[in-house]
Structure 1
Amino acid sequence: MSALTGASVADAGYETETLQGGTLGEVCRVSGTAVTEDGERPYALVVKTQRRWERHGDPQCWRREHDLYAANIVDDFPGPIKLPRCLLLEEEDGLTRIWMEYVEGATGTRLQIDELALAAERLGSFQGAFHLKGRKDWAVPRGYPAVRSSYDLYQIILAGRLRESIAGFPDALRHILNGYADRAADLMDAFDALPLTLCQGDVHQDNIILREEANGTAVYLIDWDCAGYGRMGEDAVDMLMEAFVYSDREVSLLPAYRRRIIDSYCAGARTQGADFELNDSRVRELSALAWGFRVATRYLEAGDEGTRRRCVEILHAMLA
């Protein structure tokens, strides 16, 4: 509490608000007024509780963010991307708890093309700097690349379903996805030749916060449980696809968002001296393997026609 208020705290009242809840984790905002030697001061912080669970190919995901803070790795992150300041770490059997500053700003569906382009530029700058200067020997980040993990997982779920006609699912899309599956090994090898960097692994619009600060707009990226060494560009593609797959944003906007997000990301990387470009073909390949089979699975599991129709629209826009 003293770290938040800047003074010794004698007493504090509080109230809690659940920001995100579930059986595996919970994020709560704790706010109130603290009594300090200088008088009463309002405060707000976040408590993130994470219980043991295992992501596909990543058994340590549940404790990764805790361990990133514990190892002071975030102190070495390049400046273009910020993380909330950690105030306290706790650990019990099968459970971690992070107490951190509450960052208030624009997030989620409030982020439109200009805001996401700014976040992409800062992300490219961060990852370009990390590629050139960051440590590549930390044990905490996951070692299973995110693109390969996503492809493997959803290929298992599909289990050959795309090899035969599916009611309502366009054969043209099915053939395109099968073509990517047939070339997956070679495409993965090509991805492995892209510059190595540190990837957040889940650049969802809800994990991006834009806050106005004294020096301008700061971009915060939260939820680092998917973090791992990966390839430049994959987080930018995630930012793009997350903005459409898990929202009701008009799908016809996807090509314009793709152009702004990818161009901004590459421009950010170049500000750090990283000679990096993502052409349209590489973006389609990354999108197809990391997201195409995921969206096709979403189509198969959907219980309503509207979701199925949207999945088809996204696949058309993604692979065009």
Structure 2
Amino acid sequence: MKIDLDTLIVVLTRRFKADVVSADCQSMPLKGGAVGQVCLVTGIAQTADGDALPYRIVLKIQKKWERYGDPGSWRREYDLYASGLGATFSDAFRWPACYLAEIHAEEDEIRLWLEYIEGMSGLALTGDMYEQAALELGRYQGKLYAEQPAVLRSLTNLSDSDFMKHTYLHDRSWPVVHDYLRSEDCAFPQHLRRMLIDIDEQADEILARIEKLPLVLCHRDFWVTNLIFADGKLALIDRDTCGWGRLGEDIASLIADDADIDRMVDYYRRCVPAYYKGFSEYANVSSIADPCVYELILLKFGYRLAAGYLHAEDDEQRTKVVRTLRQIHDMKTALHGAD
């Protein structure tokens, strides 16, 4: 990737709070795709005082694209960094510092020059880290819910509060998956088929219950790959799906979105109470008898998993889907026993 050196020097000057006069650089991709890429930029910065400072910076480039039901998501991280939302985070729960946010309207592209945070992420996270993530998320959402800082009223580019509902209804409208679950050809064990069909049949009542839950600022992609633990603290990346949502939406993602399958029930037992404990430090949730996290997991991931099974390339992938659905099924009795 070609790096503009003049821009890099501006970024490094802000990074080190020193007068950087020159720098060399190398870049390597961290991840990328057709509409965006993330790379690690490294090198040595030279200051006017003669210091040679090694650095690592993340450059995230996002081109314009349109996510279903959320056309503004491509530039959302730029808007959030420009909004001052960063002041609402704590030392224990934050996002990476942004040294420079650029938007190139003529190219329909944003560029974010971000702090590089080295730590543990993905399936390397331990059960204690899951629980800490749930606790800190609850504290953050509870604090914003209770205090309603002025910055929340300035956030105009957020995903819709009904985004999860609309996505579920969109997924349910796919006849291939919907009809497969109800066909004689469906290879899922009967109790798993019944679980997915029951959610559809009870969807109106479940969604009505969910819509009574507190409205909170959600990340909406709160899964292990977007969490980085370093020095006992949590950093959260990739906020392009951020928006208003219901209490528990993000915890559903933490527990079920490509998690360690064999530990999903354990994470459910640990993370749901931790999340509510954190939230209740700032807001009273004692009147909420049913947090609906189990239902949120099925609404968010049921059809996605079934579609993954149908389109799987081999038996290993199909087995993984069935194992995941079994774990979700077992969550229903994990906290309070069967209904």
Identify which of 53, 72, 90 aligns with 1:41: 53
Aligned to 1:141: 158
Aligned to 1:160: 179
Q: Deviations over 1:157-204 (max 9, x none)?
A: 324332223342223322221111111122111111111110000012
Give ranges in structure 2 of 5+ residues lacking alignment. Answer: 1-11, 331-339
Q: Hey, what's the Cα distance between the residues in 1 that align with 2:117 and 2:132?
A: 18
Aligned to 1:190: 209
1:119 and 2:125 are equivalent in the alignment = no
The residue identity in structure 2 corresponding to 1:106 is M
Contact 1:80/1:126 (CA < 8 Å) preserved in 2?
no
The residue identity in structure 2 corresponding to 1:256 is D
Aligned to 1:59: 71
Judged with a 3 Å threshold, the aligned counterparts in structure 2 of structure 1 residues 268 and 80 are, in CA distance, closer, same or farther, namely farther
3-state secondary structure, aligned to 1:55: coil
Number of matched residues?
311
The residue identity in structure 1 corresponding to 2:173 is I
1:286 and 2:308 are equivalent in the alignment = no
Identify which of 22, 36, 44 aligns with 1:25: 36
Contact 1:150/1:294 (CA < 8 Å) preserved in 2?
no
3-state secondary structure, aligned to 1:106: coil
Q: Which moved more, 1:182-191 or 1:195-204?
A: 182-191
Contact 2:248/2:292 (CA < 8 Å) preserved in 1?
no
3-state secondary structure, aligned to 2:114: strand
Aligned to 1:128: 142
Contact 2:21/2:47 (CA < 8 Å) preserved in 1?
yes
1:205 and 2:216 are equivalent in the alignment = no
Q: Which moved more, 1:199-208 or 1:308-317?
A: 308-317
Aligned to 1:256: 266
1:233 and 2:248 are equivalent in the alignment = yes
3-state secondary structure, aligned to 1:35: strand
TM-score scaled to structure 1, two decimals? 0.91
Contact 1:80/1:123 (CA < 8 Å) preserved in 2?
no
Aligned to 1:177: 196
3-state secondary structure, aligned to 1:169: coil
Deviation at 1:36, TM superposition (A): 0.9
Give the fraction of aligned pairs with identical amino acids, expressed as a percent: 32
Judged with a 3 Å threshold, the aligned counterparts in structure 2 of structure 1 residues 274 and 105 are, in CA distance, closer, same or farther, namely farther
Contact 1:84/1:220 (CA < 8 Å) preserved in 2?
yes
Contact 2:69/2:163 (CA < 8 Å) preserved in 1?
no
Aligned to 1:242: 257
3-state secondary structure, aligned to 2:292: helix
Q: Which moved more, 1:149-158 or 1:193-202?
A: 149-158
Q: Which moved more, 1:132-141 or 1:4-13?
A: 132-141
Q: Hey, what's the Cα distance between the residues in 2 that align with 1:204 and 1:18?
A: 21
1:222 and 2:244 are equivalent in the alignment = no
Aligned to 1:151: 168
TM-score scaled to structure 2, two decimals? 0.86
> Which runs of structure 2 are paired with 1:57-136 in the superposition (5 Å)?
57-77=69-89, 80-92=92-104, 93-135=107-149, 136=152
Q: Hey, what's the Cα distance between the residues in 2 that align with 1:71 and 1:61?
A: 15
The residue identity in structure 1 corresponding to 2:160 is G
Q: Which moved more, 1:225-234 or 1:93-102?
A: 93-102
Deviation at 1:147, TM superposition (A): 2.5
